[in-house]
Amino acid sequence: MSNQCHDGDLHRHLCALKEIDFELAYLAALTQEGLKPLSRWEKSLTDDDLKLLQRTGLPTRQVRRTVKTGKEIVETIFSRMPAYIQLYEQTFGNTPIDKSARTQRFEGFFFGYPPCCVNQYIRKPYAPNNLTEQEQKILFHWACRDCKVTPSLLQAYKDAHDLLEHC
């Protein structure tokens, strides 16, 4: 399948994905836009769901991880850039899920989080910031106080969010 969708097709496929889950469609839209180098879906997907996700033109990969109890889980990652998919698999494939600072820095890099916000989150999660509740809600990272990067990202996130709300 072609990696390049016509805009109308892409919107149609994103809207179909929204029927499964709004957040999954939103992540796919942000990843297609390039706002997120890579996204991760931690809930399970049926084969049909996965096909729908791939129809947005995004290459996907399923990565095995373990949780503390030793139980195996499967994450679905997607990115327009094969190098990011490879790097994610090399970094996290078959590893236990953890919340270390190293992991959070890698995740920030993959998911397009500003490093200032990642650093603040590692020091103290959910420290007060200047965003409205509505602004913070459409982001996947917690913005640091007086963030210089997040305000520039917000409009693009809002646009992607609005487009999906009007499917």
SS3 content of the chain, % helix, strand, coil (to 5): 50, 10, 35
User: CB 114 → Zn ion: shortest distance, Å?
Assistant: 4
Residue from 20, 35, 87, 116 touching Zn ion (CB under 5 A): that is 116
Nearer to Zn ion, 52 or 147 (CB): 147
Nearer to Zn ion, 78 or 157 (CB): 157
* Tokens 């994103």 found at: 14
Nearer to Zn ion, 22 or 140 (CB): 140
Which has the closest alpha carbon to 141: 155, 125, 156? 125
- Specify the 3-state DSSP secondary structure of 162: helix
Residue from 40, 79, 114, 118 touching Zn ion (CB under 5 A): that is 114
85 binds Zn ion (CB under 5 A): no
In the shown chain, the binding pattern of residues 133 to 152 toward Zn ion, with x for contact by CB under 5 A and - for none, equals -----------x--x-----
What does the alpha-carbon distance between residue 51 and residue 102 come to, in Å, rounded to a whole number? 32
Q: How many CB atoms lie within 10 A of CB 124?
A: 9
* Tokens 């995004």 found at: 58
User: CB 144 → Zn ion: shortest distance, Å?
Assistant: 4
Residues found near Zn ion in the complex (CB under 5 A): 114, 116-117, 144, 147
